[in-house]
Amino acid sequence: MAEPTTNEITVLTSVPPHMSRSVAGLEVGEDHQRNCIASWGALSTRVISINPEAEADRVGHMFPDLRVVSVPDTTDAALSRPLLRFNDLLEVAASHSEVIAILNADILIRDGEQVARTLAQVGPGRAVVAHRLDVVDPDSASGAVCMLGIDLIALHRSDLQRIRSTVPLYLGAPWWDYHVLGALVLQGFEIGFVASEHVIHLAHGGGWDKTLWDAIGIRFGRDLLARAGTLPTTGMRPDARRFLKVLKAFGTRVRRRQRPAWKATIREAVGIDPGRLGTDDLHLFSNLFPDLAGQLAGRHRGRTSGRPA
């Protein structure tokens, strides 16, 4: 393992113009957002919200102490409101500190100085990620670790181009975090973890809009499975080889599930491309990423505790 560095950190997020959260039946959304923003100050004095033009002024007015950077609005038919394109975030990040921490806007950081020490050890080829702890009260000391997403990702500025998306992905929408996790693994990054007890998420009702989840998931999944078939395995790290094998096996499973030929014919007749990932495959496909993260976290715990991973 390379010697740790102590680089400066820039925190990047996309604060929405409205957040609704409740505690004991009381609406606390705006206050909770302010508390989240305040908690990020322990990570860095460089905290930036990147927002589409349509909402940037409003966010800046609501949170005058937060630096807001405006980027062009999105025009994606899958979105009900403008969201921050993931690649636009990377463009902004390229002109900032050596360590870039990408954080979901509804995350409250606990014991931020300790987290900052972990993030500052990021270097070229070395990234840090975190799963959130879902709580029913922000002051609660207990909660449930959520493995279904990545809420904090930190990497070195020199590695930003390595995680660019080849299909449209957005902060504030599903799948971008799975894209980053997959890219980090397949490109051989050394991945560390911040303990979930430091990454607090106030649980709330609802979930992703299914139409949005399906639309972005199909794009992302088809693209990743297609690229997996072309990636060279020479020199790959063991984690990358394992995940690539899983992706290829899943792609084969999708194709086989459409046999005999009449199944593919029916799919084609209802507008689903034969031989390609469909919405009926998405939940199984999405499960690959929590499984991957769990395996990585287990090996990380093994290394840091001195036990075999």
Buried b (16+ CB within 10 A) or exposed e, 34-58: eebbebbeebbebbbbbbbeebbee
Q: How large is the average pLDDT for residues 73-79?
A: 89
Residues 221 and 157 both lie in one domain? no
Please state, rounded to an integer, the average pLDDT across all residues of the chain. Answer: 89
Q: Regarding predicted confidence, which is higher, 177 or 74?
A: 177
The closest of 181, 205, 202 to 105, measured between CA atoms, is 202
Residues 202 and 215 both lie in one domain? no
Task: Please identify, among 176, 206, 236, the residue that sits at the C-terminal boundary of a domain.
Answer: 206
Residue 2 clears pLDDT 50, i.e. is over it? no
Model pTM score: 0.89
pLDDT tens for residues 101-142?
A: 999 999 999 999 999 999 998 999 999 999 999 999 988 888
**Domain, as residue range, for 132:** 9-206
Residues 43 and 91 both lie in one domain? yes
Residues 35 and 83 both lie in one domain? yes
pLDDT (0 to 100) of residue 221: 96
As for how many domains the chain has, the answer is 2
Q: What phi and psi values does residue 269 have, to the nearest 5 degrees?
A: -65, -30
- Are 208 and 174 in contact by the 8 Å Cβ rule? The answer is yes
Task: Please identify, among 180, 206, 232, the residue that sits at the C-terminal boundary of a domain.
Answer: 206
Bridge partners, 84 (sequence order): 171
Q: How large is the average pLDDT for residues 65-77?
A: 93
Percent of the chain with pLDDT over 90: 71
Residues 196 and 93 both lie in one domain? yes
Q: Regarding predicted confidence, which is higher, 68 or 141?
A: 68
Tell me if 185 is assigned to some domain. Answer: yes
- Are 149 and 177 in contact by the 8 Å Cβ rule? The answer is yes
pLDDT tens for residues 256-302?
A: 775 555 455 555 555 555 457 888 899 999 999 999 999 999 888 87
Residues 30 and 177 both lie in one domain? yes
The number of residues in the chain equals: 309
pLDDT tens for residues 15-35?
A: 999 888 888 888 888 999 999
DSSP summary character for residue 243: H
Residues 163 and 128 both lie in one domain? yes
H/E stretch holding 249 reads helix 238-257
pLDDT (0 to 100) of residue 260: 53
The closest of 287, 265, 262 to 274, measured between CA atoms, is 265
DSSP summary character for residue 150: -
Residues 109 and 149 both lie in one domain? yes
Residues 157 and 292 both lie in one domain? no
DSSP 3-state of 214 = helix
- Are 86 and 165 in contact by the 8 Å Cβ rule? The answer is yes
Task: Please identify, among 173, 206, 239, the residue that sits at the C-terminal boundary of a domain.
Answer: 206
Question: What CA–CA distances, in Å, run from 72 to 34, 51, 91?
Answer: 25, 8, 12
CA 35 to CA 247: how far, in whole Å? 40
CATH value at residue 32: 3.90.550.10
Contacts of 3 (CB under 8 A, 6+ apart): none
Tell me if 1 is assigned to some domain. Answer: no
Residue 309 clears pLDDT 50, i.e. is over it? no
* Residue 115, token pair as written in the block: 């987290």
The closest of 192, 281, 181, 201 to 33, measured between CA atoms, is 201
Provide the phi-psi class of 271: left if phi over 0, else alpha when psi is between -120 and 50, else beta.
left
Tell me if 2 is assigned to some domain. Answer: no
Q: How large is the average pLDDT for residues 201-218?
A: 87
